[in-house]
Amino acid sequence: MLGPMNLPPPLDPARHALFIDFDGTLVELVDRPEDVRISPEAVQRLGVLQRQCAGAFALLSGRRIADLDRFLSPLAFAAGGIHGLERREEPGGPIVPLAGPAGLDPIRLVLSVGVTEEPRLRLEDKGTSLVVHYRGHPELEGAAVELVQRSVADEPGFAVMKGDNIVEVHLGGMDKGKALSAFMTREPFVGRVPVYLGDDTTDEFGFAAVKALNGVSIKVGNGPSEADYRLSCVDSVHRWLGSEPGLGADGMKEAS
């Protein structure tokens, strides 16, 4: 596992393919996911990086791609949403769902009843995944986990993932790592070195995929990770993305 000050090397747009998580990486985590904000200057900088990488740039998020579009407008970008359960392979292209919402209907019913009984829990319905939030109520972590596990019961084919103050369930067979690997087989990503930045346990799938491709894996924030490098916070991410060649995350010259 990485050390606490293992800063990443500078981004090289000529040879890197850039993959970025959204919440906790490009924007701060907030109690209400719909309240996040990203500055127009940061969005503009992402557009510059996208052009510098010749289009080898994608967002990989647990959010729906439509939500990412709203926050990052007017930027158009490739994306994997809901941990890869929906995908847009090129900017302006169609959003392709890889699973429908109907398969979650029995689980949706159990979770709806559960959050009614415990109103401090909140259910987010993404269509192809269901998320139980307990942010602001850490004492309810066990109740959230138990509710989701009970909703799934012994049903095969579902994946349950824990994240930052959430428990999520969706149809199995997809994660951010698989989405990243799929992008890397297509132009303009193919032949480049993948770089992935993420902050949560769900991003560990992306780190594993990047390491298998001899890429650059960057954990944002504290906590154990299999990533090779670390940035301390969202501000550090934006400084690193905007750094000059030869500068590290905090503007210090990299050792050569």
Q: Is 124 exposed, middle or buried (0-12, 13-18, 19+ CB in 10 A)?
A: middle
Alpha-carbon distances, residue 250 vs 16, 236, 256 (angstroms): 20, 7, 16
Q: Contact at 8 Å (CB) between 249 and 8? A: yes
Alpha-carbon distances, residue 24 vs 97, 165, 201 (angstroms): 24, 12, 11
pLDDT in tens, 64-92: 999 999 999 999 999 999 888 899 999 99
Alpha-carbon distances, residue 187 vs 1, 46, 56, 97, 182 (angstroms): 32, 19, 8, 20, 11
Domains of the chain: 16-98+174-241 (3.40.50.1000), 101-171 (3.30.70.1020)
Residue 249 dihedral angles phi and psi, to the nearest 5° = -65, -30
Q: What is the pLDDT of residue 199?
A: 96
Which percentage of the chain shows pLDDT scores above 70?
91
Q: Contact at 8 Å (CB) between 130 and 123? A: yes
The DSSP 8-state label assigned to residue 26 in this structure reads T
Q: Is the pTM of this model over 0.85?
A: no
Tell me whether strands 78-81 and 166-171 are parallel, antiparallel or unpaired: unpaired
Q: What is the pLDDT of residue 131?
A: 93
pLDDT in tens, 139-185: 999 999 999 999 988 777 788 889 889 999 987 778 999 999 999 99
- Which residue is it, tokens 């989701």? 148
Helix 105-117 with 141-152: angle, nearest 10 deg: 150
- DSSP secondary structure of 177-219: HHHHHHHTTSTTTTTSEEEEEE-SGGGHHHHHHHHHTT-EEEE
Q: What is the pLDDT of residue 91?
A: 97
The low-confidence residues of the chain, meaning pLDDT below 50, are 3-4, 244-256
Cβ neighbors of 224 (< 8 A, separation 6 or more) are 1
Q: What is the pLDDT of residue 123?
A: 95
Q: Which of 12, 21, 203, 228 is catalytic?
A: 21
Active site residue 175: no
* Amino acid identity for residue 219 in this structure: K
Helix 234-241 with 40-52: angle, nearest 10 deg: 40
Instruction: Look at residue 223 and give its three-state secondary structure.
Output: coil
